[in-house]
Amino acid sequence: MLRSQPLMTDQDIAAQVRSIALDAKRASRVLASASTARKNAVLARVAGALRGGEGQDVLDANERDMGAAQDANLSAAMLDRLRLDRPRLLAIASDLEAVMRLPDPVGQVESLRTLESGISAGRMSVPLGLIAMIYESRPNVTADAAALCIKSGNACILRGGKEAFCSAQALAQLFETALVAEGLPSAAVALLPTTQREATLALLSLDGIVDLAIPRGGEGLIRFVVENARVPVIKHYKGVCHVYVDQSADYDKAERILVNAKVQRPSACNSAETLLVDRAIAHTYLPRLCKAVTDRKVELHGCPDTLALFPKARAISDGDYDTEYTDFVLNVRVVDGLDGALDHIAKHGSQHTEAIVTEHYGHAQRFLREVDASAVMVNASTRFNDGGQLGLGAEIGISTSKLHAYGPMGLAELCTKKWVVYGDGQVRA
């Protein structure tokens, strides 16, 4: 692995990226049939290294990144995202150990059954092959992504943000060492040696070599990947999530769910950005809901009906309904019952997470059935759309594209299912 980011011509870069990818692809064949014990042993070694002396190498590398970031006058929020310290390193180690404890998805066969011809056929979960992760500056993503790929039997190529390049190098080095120590090819976890745009473009062009690209980060990064990829992409642009409070809602549940969906962690993609209130109850109930969130420092952008009922709200502006604030800001709109809510969500939703609060059976059923989103909730906070909360264990991201995975992508979603057929000499009539 190169230790710095050298200057290369575009052709050099493309050739080098292709060569790294071909090595990783070859390694993926080995990883696909590696035993669960061996894959877990790799993760255990990396976790052990992070807890031990080698953790210091990662902290030293991170210090170099932090120095450069300070020189470049990055924002305090960016610096915080980039920073590693001993507790954060231990948290990464714990995350690796949590992935170790998850069941291995590889080789699992579902719905094996005997068919009329006498053959028995089922679907076996097998790794996708080679996964390209394209992400930004959080150093822990390097470790999480590598761990989930290894556990699911995939090789991966990592392209982290340039701010975190040294940290990513140090972390990737730990994986390479652990792979070799367990007799697996080090090429199964490869960090791109440069974060130059040309390298990413070369990576995204490798149809037939890279089986899947997963971009994680801001909308700009994701659009760049979608625009330029010749390989399949699973993505999520943004989370514009709604809480709809129906005429028949239980008011206490509605207030509790709204507060949790907006306030518990506004920076998360599954936080709510817009409250929709049924006109039938707006007069009595909208002010109470608004107060519950403004008491918690949330700024409101309201539709005209909302302003009439809760004058402290600001007037809604163009584009607000399509904005992911990731902050203490909430749109509020009065809608004409369930159909009004469904129309608003169809127009402004981001296919991420949508919630209804209702005690009306038919409304709950229609909302569940008709809303197009990766997760649709009745009487529960939008914040539950998360791999851990939905029982998948760790996730590599949340997909709002419908192909292959819709919602959190855990180990099972990093696999595909091939048909396996057990016969006894059968032929087709």
**In the complex, which residues of this chain contact its own copies (CB under 8 A)?**
29, 32-33, 107, 113, 115, 117, 119, 121, 124, 126, 128-129, 207, 211-212, 226-227, 230, 232, 234, 250, 252-253, 256-257, 259-261, 264, 346, 368-370, 372-381, 383-385, 389-391, 401-404, 406-407, 416-428
Q: Pick between residue 173 and residue 353 the one whose CB is nearest to its own copies.
A: 353
Q: Nearest-5° angle of CA 417, CA 421, CA 426?
A: 155
CB 243 within 8 Å of CB 275 = yes
Are 261 and 384 within 8 A, CB to CB? no
For its own copies, the closer of residues 168 and 258 by Cβ is 258
Cβ at position 135, least distance to its own copies in Å: 20
Nearer to its own copies, 227 or 318 (CB): 227
Tell me the Ramachandran region of residue 250: left when phi exceeds 0, alpha when psi lies from -120 to 50, beta otherwise: beta
Buried (b) or exposed (e) across 182-207, using 16+ Cβ within 10 A?
bebbbbbbbbbbbbbebbbbbbbbbe
Minimum distance from CB of 80 to its own copies (Å)? Answer: 22
Which residues does 140 contact at the CB level (< 8 Å), separation at least 6? 88, 91, 92, 95
Minimum CB separation of residue 290 from its own copies in Å reads 18
Nearer to its own copies, 18 or 253 (CB): 253
- Choose between 158 and 355: whose C-beta lies nearer to its own copies: 355
Nearer to its own copies (CB atom), residue 175 or residue 406: 406
Nearer to its own copies, 74 or 392 (CB): 392
Q: Shortest Cβ distance from residue 275 to its own copies (Å)?
A: 15
Q: Which is nearer to its own copies, 309 or 373 (CB)?
A: 373
Residue 78 buriedness (CB in 10 A; 0-12 / 13-18 / 19+)? middle
Is residue 101 within a helix (H) or strand (E), and if so which, with residue range?
helix 86-101
Write the CA distances from 173 to 76, 130, 197, 354, integer angstroms.
28, 19, 23, 41
| Three-state secondary-structure class, residue 347 | helix
The least distance separating its own copies from the CB of residue 131, rounded to whole angstroms, comes to: 11
What whole-number distance in Å separates Cα of residue 365 and Cα of residue 246?
13
Comparing CB distances to its own copies, the nearer of 80 and 227 is: 227
| CA distances, 342 to each of 105, 185, 362, 409 (Å) | 36, 51, 14, 26
- How large is the C-alpha radius of gyration of the chain? 24
Q: Which is nearer to its own copies, 311 or 391 (CB)?
A: 391
CB 130 within 8 A of CB 21: yes
Three-state DSSP at 161 gives: coil
Q: How far is the CB of 209 from its own copies (least distance, A)?
A: 13
329, two tokens:
């800001």
Least spacing, CB of residue 66 vs its own copies, in Å? 31
CB of 301 to its own copies, least distance (A): 23
Supply the minimum distance, in Å, between the C-beta of residue 376 and its own copies.
6
Cα 349 to Cα 232: distance, rounded to the nearest angstrom: 24
CB of 122 to its own copies, least distance (A): 9
Query: Can you tell me the distance from the alpha carbon of 158 to that of 199, in angstroms, rounded to the nearest whole number?
Result: 11
